[in-house]
Chains A and B, each alone.
Chain A
Amino acid sequence: MDFYLGLLQIIGVHTLLGLSAYCVLLTGQVSLAQAGFFAVGAYVAGMLTVLAAWPLILALAVSAIAGGAIACAVGFPALRVKGLMLVVATVAFGEAVRLFFFNFDYQVAHGDIRIGPHGGEGFRQIRYFPEHGWTTLDVALFIWTAVALVMAALWWMDRSRAGAVLRAVGEDEIAAQSSGINITAVKVAAMTIGGVIAGLGGGIFAHYTTHIEHVQFGVVLATFAIAYPILGGLSNVFGTLLAVIFIQGFLLEGLRFLGDWRNLLFGGLIVLAMNLRPRGLLDAGSTIALKRLFFKTKE
């Protein structure tokens, strides 16, 4: 049972990470900086609960704000470039964040042990959940409440004018500008929203793993972040969720019995999935089909 709860937790946290990239992708920007915002959120939230003994909710709120603030600050210079150049710029940012935490040493004595981030050794003993008597089930429920709230907020945003504007910028920047949209402001706003979600996800991640270190926040994580919404399709937030379940639940865990063959199959299956469904697992067509299935429409 704990195995499945653990898997649920991973899927929940990675969904937040994927959704943060989803926001940015809507505006047509490929950002590999999401893992960096995620790392910032993880360290900020961890330090607040461990070193400052803050309540978790407050710490997560601050980690989300920190992620958003950094994303906004990075967004202004980074979004002046696009395409491949933006990928390079955001990878560089992500690596800079990772290396910062590789060198970040801020430990304080706590009784007879020292706690806090300790450079390359990482940040251990983020024991908020066990110290407060949360069971694995509690933690899983907590994570999924956060995921549900974020998904609901994004779902609502998607259907508002703001969502249409984000997608318009993603489709055609020149047409968007000529329709009176300040595309720089829109892109930075999307990046900031993505940063908030990544910061929140990172904060949660730090607490359920209890031990974070710089290697977890490298390019691989950034690639996963962007892979989820691309694989899932950008028609709505459920595509990203579906892609996380597909990759984390099916490819990584479900195929574990294959041993070494898993890694080979992993890449192959993603390529296959993208070829079979070039607009994502959950594209506009399948969304409409699902709607017809569940809601009897007038047509």
Chain B
Amino acid sequence: MLELSGLTKHFGGVRAVDGIDLTVAQGEILGLIGPNGSGKSTIVNLICGLFPLTAGRVLFRDANISDLPPHARVALGIARTFQNIRLFGQLTVWQNLWVAQNSGEQRHKERFLTRWFGGSRRARDEIDRTLEFFDLAHKRDELATNLAFGEQRRLEFARALAAKPSLILLDEPAAGMNAEEIDQLDDRIRKLRQDGITILLIEHHMELVMSIADRIAVLNFGQKIAEGTPAEIQANPTVRQAYLGTAAAA
């Protein structure tokens, strides 16, 4: 579904991402892990088109999308969340999803006026269902900025989903969450996979990644140092050394 080939991004002399080849198959959950600064978030930004590639290509469903602007990639079905939450704080919870409801499917089904000014019954119901799924329905008229941290994370996830993606990129969705919230996140990600959504999961929380990822890729210094099932990754000595450090061997 998503294929990165020779993906490279240099910031001045820094090789943030250095020749990454990575494939995400339809319907799978691919975990992307690596120490801080290893290039995980940069990869997400490159897939979304937030900055231009130094070299390499991004293929989505076999089409080269390397030169498309970010909004066009969302229209094709790629949505994301941010490591540092970026909500529309002065909009209500409901409006945050309303803004994102602009995917390719809706674009064609709804007339210009309905899409921009009215909002069909179906579109409104969809938002309500998504809020329900993320347990935010009771907060629908709150300003996003007034939500608690965990709720903001959920809202960002919900907003990404409102764009009706077929591939969703989650950039550290569990950061700052407590155990119970992580359990719920785990459930939601599994539920989305059942619905046929492909997921690229960047996460530091090992327990979560190891339990739900089908495959894991490990980055270090902008390069992929390992790829395999969670069990293979856990057993991989290079990974233990680069990522977990020597203490983890104890």
Contacts and interface: CB of A to CB of B under 8 A. Distances in A.
Q: Determine which residue in A160, A171, A175 has the highest number of CB atoms from chain B within 10 A of its CB, and name it.
A: A175
B99 A168 contact: yes
A275 interface: no
Contacts of B69: 177, 182
A167 interface: yes
B99 A177 contact: no
The 10 A-B residue pairs with the shortest CB-CB distance, nearest first, are A180-B74, A179-B100, A175-B86, A177-B70, A160-B117, A180-B102, A164-B95, A168-B99, A162-B116, A168-B88
Interface in B69-117: 69-72, 74-75, 79-80, 82, 86-91, 95-96, 98-103, 115-117
A137 to B, nearest CB: 35
Contact of A179 (B89, B99, B116, B117): B99
Q: Is the interface of A mostly helix, strand, loop or mixed?
A: helix
B116 A171 contact: no
Interface of B: 48, 50, 69-72, 74-75, 79-80, 82, 86-91, 95-96, 98-103, 115-119, 143, 159-160, 162-163
B91 A180 contact: no
Contacts of B80: 178
A160 B116 contact: yes
A284 interface: yes
Interface of A: 156-157, 160-162, 164-165, 167-168, 171-172, 174-183, 284
Nearest to B87: A175
Contacts of B87: 172, 175
Given A175-B82, A179-B74, A161 B163 contact: no
Given A160-B117, A164-B98, A180 B86 contact: no
A180 B103 contact: yes
B29 to A, nearest CB: 21
A79 to B, nearest CB: 14
B91 A161 contact: no
Contact of A180 (B75, B95, B143): B75
Nearest to A177: B70
Contacts of B79: 178-180
Q: Determine which residue in B86, B118, B159 has the highest number of CB atoms from chain A within 10 A of its CB, and name it.
A: B86
B145 to A, nearest CB: 10
Contact of B163 (A168, A179, A284): A179
A168 B162 CA distance: 15
A216 to B, nearest CB: 35
A168 B91 contact: yes
Given A160-B117, A160-B118, A178-B74, A167 B98 contact: no
Contacts of A177: 50, 69-71, 74
26 contacts: A160-B118, A161-B101, A161-B115, A161-B118, A164-B91, A164-B95, A165-B99, A167-B91, A168-B88, A168-B91, A168-B96, A172-B86, A172-B88, A175-B87, A176-B88, A177-B50, A177-B74, A178-B48, A178-B82, A179-B102, A179-B160, A179-B163, A180-B71, A180-B74, A183-B71, A284-B90
B61 to A, nearest CB: 17
Contacts of B86: 172, 174-175, 178
A277 to B, nearest CB: 16
Given A172-B86, A284-B90, 19 more contacts: A157-B117, A160-B118, A160-B119, A161-B101, A161-B116, A161-B119, A162-B116, A164-B88, A165-B99, A171-B88, A174-B50, A177-B50, A177-B69, A177-B71, A179-B99, A179-B163, A180-B103, A181-B99, A183-B71
